[in-house]
A = this chain, B = another copy of it.
């Protein structure tokens, strides 16, 4: 294997070493357990996020996902509830014993988001946003770093290096599909990225099959595949009423579908020596 990332890089896996574990409160990324993060695309209301938090917790999720600051292609699309959304998500997570992962879009919001989140997410559109990478690198929160939609493995790892180089080594990579000629799915989920990252870096890697496919009927199969490929976790869009979701409804599964998914996932995880 051609060495792409020199051992001098902070993200590089040292020869014959095991992967590092990123600890966030009582949750470990990169350990024996596969960590499932689930929740709506956007926080929509207090009732919505509480109802979803309750359901995903019961089914086995450890982390609640939800967007309060939404990166939207059009300025006229719903941009999220902002701090109010963060507050409701934090409360719901606390009530049900979940951690919170949510996206930060702007250097100026890192402090605010960090007040409510356990893990701050850098989305695909910001993977190359060096100012933001540095800012979360100086912060104290774990970072979920999504792969840019046309980022090579090397560019993705070097984006992580920007964070580690500021002193924050709690970075979790997230494969979420890349842009290809195929337009039937929203993106092309690159599960090989999981196996490649296990070779190149000590950082844990999770998979987002919701954005990776853009179609809810594909989410369960690709979750199984991700864990079989060695993923350390999953990030899944779940809603109590997917059809009423204000964003990404086509890729959002219902809470009962999520329950079914978790059951199947447990068997696959065991087959590769992991647990959910």
Contacts and interface: CB of A to CB of B under 8 A. Distances in A.
Contacts of A196: 184-185, 218
Nearest to A181: B179
A240 interface: no
A130 to B, nearest CB: 6
A195 B180 contact: no
A72 B154 CA distance: 13
Interface in A22-50: none
B165 A181 contact: no
A179 to B, nearest CB: 4
Q: How many copies does the complex hold?
A: 4
A182 B152 contact: yes
Interface residues of A, number: 68
A172 interface: no
A67 to B, nearest CB: 13
Contact of A128 (B125, B183, B194, B212): B125
Interface string A141-184: 00000000110111100100110010000000000001111111
Q: What DSSP secondary structure best describes chain A's contact surface?
A: helix
A226 interface: yes
A182 B197 CA distance: 14
B107 A191 contact: no
Interface stretch (A85-93, A252-260, A268-276): A268-276
A181 B194 contact: no
A267 interface: yes
A186 B185 CA distance: 18
A126 to B, nearest CB: 6
Given A107-B107, A225-B229, A192 B185 contact: yes
A169 B250 CA distance: 33
Interface string A231-245: 000000000000000
